[in-house]
Structure 1
Amino acid sequence: MSHFTDSIPTQEGDIESFIPTLGKVCKTHYWVYGSLKSGVRPLVALHGGPGFSHNYLLPLVNLTKLYRIPVILYDQLGIGHSTALPETKGDVEFWTIQLFIDELVHLLKTLKVEGDFDLFGHSWGGMLASAFATTQPKGLKKLIICSGIANMRDFMEVTRYLKTILPLDVQGAIDKYDSEGFVESSEYKAAADEFYQRFVCRMNPWPAELVESFAASERDDTVYTTMFGRNEFTVIGPLKDFNIVDDLHKVKATTLLTNGEFDEIRDNVMRPFFLHIPRVKWVQFPGCSHVPFLEDPDQYLDVIGRFLSEGY
């Protein structure tokens, strides 16, 4: 158990759903921190990846301690404590954004919060949250997009740029092993770690929760490699065509955008959210990269706690 959850009432369980294309029942494992009967609107948090487990989002549970906000975390289908589906690796017809929207809707209804909830999405979770928000769910009141992507082409341009500011030997290793497909080599992993240390999490060592989320993806990379690709530099899955910009005006929820000063999600990647969502505020966290809720948790929780409790 993480120290973030100490002394917080916790409920966990599995939500089952029959998936016709698989012909079987799958489960989504969830955790509820705090009480859904407290009268305080709950926050549902969507982890990144796709295909990273919920663990690294556990700092959000401190919102329950500080603001009495119930927090709902879950492992999305295919990762962590939810049903693993390694037999679907490479099946781009199965692994779609709609699959995860359906899973989210089922979760909301099962926990009986679909009429009144807030939503947090980080990275891929921000993409999923924004896509869901454009459907104008009636119960969604406030939306937080943390380091999300509105148009994947913007992100691909940024990662190409960020690679050029790495040391030349690191750039060479990334290019060499990525082009040859040897992304499991120790040389490639060392080079990729340099990128992650600068633009994903600047803490050293990394928090155990983040290490576990990465490890979960390495144990089963079905979702990540199918939807996204081999790594941050080579987006070859169906998400390479993700572009929600033209639909962002449909978002009715009051929205908060966040990213870090050194984030791999640079400002130009976030900007379409700011330009096209009608009611929106944007806060950037100095000294942080892709996970400001881990790198500067006090400041981050203060900003989003006030947003959820009082609004802007």
Structure 2
Amino acid sequence: MSSSDTFSRDILPTKEGKLPFTYQGETYETYYKVVGNLDSTAGVPLVTLHGGPGSAHHYLLALSDLVSPSPSSSSSETGTNAVIFYDQLGTGNSSHPRDSKAPSFWTPELFMEELANLLAGLGVSKKYDLLGHSWGGMLAAQFASAFHNKQLLAGLRKLILSSAPASMALFEQGCAKLVKELPADVQETLRRHEEDGTTDSKEYEEAVGVFYERHLCRVKPFPRDLVRSFECIGEDPTVYHTMNGPSEFHITGSLRTWSIIPSIPAISVPTLLLSGAHDEVQEECIQPFFDGIMKAGVKWAVFAESSHVAHLEERERYIRIVRAFLGGN
């Protein structure tokens, strides 16, 4: 990757902190990291939403490449003045309510309120862009289509949905198709442990690993930041197990009936869809976004050599496409 296309986050200004977040009468803390110059009036900050749910922000740090050293440039690919990363509640460096909360606590509404609090707390609510990956894209889409604070939502300029399904039913159907393409012994291992309720076994983990190498990340070994995000789920699986369930392929948690399809036409900002040709989020999972956001303006880029984390698998092209979208009219 050439230096003209990418800027190392190591040489950019960085700010970290925690914001108080009060929800249902209790106050928590949301960890955030800002890369770039948030105080600059020349650009529009990009807020990123990580996946999982529960995988933390680390694997998205490559998006720091989007920060332009000169946001006021007339180039159509100037990127952004700052990228904001944060750990959603129950994840990474943010507060961990853990077993003190009923499953009904962990809802998209909770995380939309947390995002609203972050935007206000960092002073970016009047003008910002959103990039959500996987579950983060689901959350960003729901926020953009249905959030009750219309004044806050009016500050949203552009939306990027990266490997985000429009419904969990479509996601499950796509995964089922991909699992059938795995070696027969791997399929049998997955089936047996899911039926026996032993998805925490080493054998099951290794079988899932075969799927992940094809449809989650095709870079070997997995990038360090991606591994760290996975570790966060292992350190506290509360959010992932409650909302998704113990299996990647059979959604048994509170998101099992989630669908944004009826609300997609309410998304009223220019939107960029991104996905990998080998993605566990298959094209039929994303098609409803493309069909439903036509009036606001929608583009869709597919990465031929990527699966679920194209920003790590085809980093240079990914950054170039996103930077052009952010910088365009």
How many angstroms apart in 1 are the aligned matches of 2:161 and 2:299? Answer: 10
Cross-structure match for 2:298: 280
TM-score, normalised via structure 2 length: 0.91
Q: Structure 1 residues 143, 68: CA separation in 2 closer, same or farther (over 3 Å shift)?
A: closer
In 2 relative to 1, CA 68–166 (structure 1 residues): closer, same or farther, beyond 3 Å? closer
> Which residue in 1 is equivalent to 2:15?
11
Give the corresponding residue for 1:115. Answer: 126
Give 1:24 deviation, angstroms: 3.2
Match of 1:30 in 2: 32
Match of 2:189 in 1: 173
Q: CA deviation at 1:35?
A: 1.1
Identity of aligned residues (%): 41
3-state SS, counterpart of residue 240 of structure 1: coil
- Aligned residues, how many? 306
Please, which of 303, 318, 321 is the counterpart of residue 303 of structure 1? Answer: 321
Structure 1 Cα separation of the partners of residues 35 and 83 of structure 2: 5
Determine the structure 2 residue equivalent to 1:64.
67
CA distance in 2 between counterparts of 1:231 and 1:251 reads 31
Instruction: Assess, with a 3 A threshold, how the Cα gap between structure 1 residues 68 and 123 changes in structure 2: closer, same or farther.
Output: closer
Q: Which digits, 9 at most, give the CA deviation of each residue in 1:165-217, with x for residues without a partner?
A: 00000000000011111112111111000000000001110000000000110
| 1:75-114 alignment runs, 5 A limit | 75-88=87-100, 91-114=102-125
Partners of 1:37 and 1:162 in 2: CA distance: 45
1:198 aligned partner:
214
What amino acid is the match of 2:33?
A: W
Indicate if the aligned counterparts of 1:88 and 1:94 stay in contact, CA closer than 8 A: no
Alignment partner of 1:265 is 2:281: yes
Q: CA deviation at 1:307?
A: 0.3
Q: Which residue of 1 aligns with 2:3?
A: none
Looking at structure 1, the residues matched to 137 and 55 of structure 2 have their Cα atoms a distance apart, in angstroms, of 13
Alpha-carbon shift at residue 93 of structure 1 (Å):
1.2
* Amino acid of the structure 2 residue aligned with 1:115: K
> Quick check: 1:47 aligned with 2:50?
yes
CA contact (8 A) 2:79 2:323 kept: no
Q: Structure 2 CA distance, aligned partners of 1:17 and 1:140? A: 21
Q: Which runs of 5+ in 1 are unaligned?
A: none
What is the RMSD of the two structures over their aligned residues, measured on CA atoms? Answer: 1.3
Q: What is the CA–CA distance in structure 2 between the aligned matches of 1:246 and 1:162, rounded to whole Å?
A: 26
| CA shift for structure 1 position 4 | 4.9
For 1:30 and 1:116, how far apart are their aligned partners in 2? 18
Question: Does the aligned pair in 2 maintain the 1:8–1:65 contact within 8 Å?
Answer: no
- 1:85 and 1:178 map into 2 onto residues whose CA distance is 28
Indicate conservation of the 8 Å contact 1:134/1:250, yes or no. yes
Aligned partner of residue 284 in structure 1, secondary structure: strand
TM-score w.r.t. length of structure 1? 0.95
